[in-house]
Structure 1
Amino acid sequence: MQQIKELLKTVGFVVIFALFLLLLRQYVFTPVIVKGDSMDPTLHDGERVIALKNTEIERFDIITFEAPDEEGKNYIKRVIGLPGDRVAYQNDTLYINGQAYDEPYLDEFKAAVTDGFPLTSDFDMSLFGVEVIPEGQVLVLGDNRRISKDSRQLGLIDESTILGDVKFVFWPIADFGMLGKD
């Protein structure tokens, strides 16, 4: 009889713990696998990351969102423009509302460019047919600008499709740690 009680306690604990993890997964975070090279050098193909749900998205956060061009697929990109922003690239420099911004996460790739072409081609808000980013939308770019499929091809991203704010790399162990904005 004592063994049955202990077994029931153990099963009860496992069930409650599994339910707790399921609720965390549903409402607090989601694990994501990076697919492709569009976020190099910040994130690499095959890395596993944690995205926090229900967080306030800020400029330069890395987010995962539902792909607007392919059912059942998600993308990981960096938020460059927020609602109300006027974003432009000119001579490989980011301008937001007329102010130049450094992007230290691009330094490695910019240093490697030797063909005379910019890492990020020139564009402005006319690409999206608006003067400023509308409420409820964001502009996203991949860090590997030359190959990334991002807002330049997909258009502005609806905030309602954002699944999480990528904050942490947990695999491979060599890359384990928090992600910064630089």
Structure 2
Amino acid sequence: MASQHQPTWRWLLLLVVVFIAVFSGTRYFIANDIVDGTSMQPTLQSGERLVSIKHQTPKRFDIVVLTEPVAPHALFIKRVIGLPGDTIKVVDDQLWINGQRVNEPYLKTAFAKQELKQFQRAHAAATFTANFSLSQLKATRAKKVPAGHYFVMGDNRLVSYDSRGFGFVSKAELESVVIWRYWPLTQMRGF
């Protein structure tokens, strides 16, 4: 009889180990996030579900989840534009990093034109991304992104509240780096 119960205990032990591994992984290493709002359009839509990795150092143009600086219990999803030590400016919808013009393929031209046209009806916006440099922004007032900090922006530059408004984001405020959109299934893809 003892031999019949032995496999049951092994399966039970295996299930407990798997449960602890999944719980630990989702709590300490992996995050499940839901997009809320329009600031990352057209890349991300409200209601989409994402998987992100915690405790990861982001690279330029990674999509990150961060603690919202003004309301620390809220989370934002933005794109890393500037790394520590970078100079950043936008002139006539062109991004310049460290004196080099940088393409932003994630900014879809057709989407930007449509959003700008609608936005111009209510506001006096001439470009999708208003001209700025780090030293001109009230929120940053620096020539370079400080050590241990990042400059983030939403892809929908007309409506995004981002580093242009709340300043640099410290590494401690970065919750995770987005690696996968899994919902809706028809829009599944890696980042």
Give TM-score, length-normalised by structure 2.
0.87
Deviation at 1:160, TM superposition (A): 1.1
Amino acid at match of 2:38: D
Match of 2:39 in 1: 38
Selected match of 1:109 from 111, 120, 124:
111
**Is the aligned partner of 1:171 residue 2:180?**
no
Aligned residues: 179
Deviations 1:26-56 (A, max 9, x none): 3332111111111011011111101112323
Point out where structure 2 has 5 or more consecutive residues left out of the alignment.
Answer: none
The separation in 2 between residues aligned to 1:14 and 1:149, in whole angstroms, is 44
Selected match of 1:149 from 141, 155, 161:
161
Match of 1:100 in 2: 101
The separation in 1 between residues aligned to 2:83 and 2:72, in whole angstroms, is 25
Cα contact 1:109–1:119 (8 A) shared by 2: no
Match of 2:23 in 1: 22
**Is the aligned partner of 1:124 residue 2:133?**
yes
Deviation at 1:16, TM superposition (A): 0.8
In the TM superposition, 1:53-64 aligns within 5 A as 53-64=54-65
Amino acid at match of 2:153: L
Q: Percent identity?
A: 34
The separation in 2 between residues aligned to 1:147 and 1:138, in whole angstroms, is 20
The separation in 1 between residues aligned to 2:166 and 2:8, in whole angstroms, is 54
Deviations 1:123-175 (A, max 9, x none): 11121111111101100000011111100111111111111110100111111
Cα contact 1:78–1:142 (8 A) shared by 2: yes
Cα RMSD for the two superposed structures:
1.7
Secondary structure, counterpart of 2:155 in structure 1: coil
Match of 1:65 in 2: 66
Give TM-score, length-normalised by structure 1.
0.91
Point out where structure 1 has 5 or more consecutive residues left out of the alignment.
Answer: none
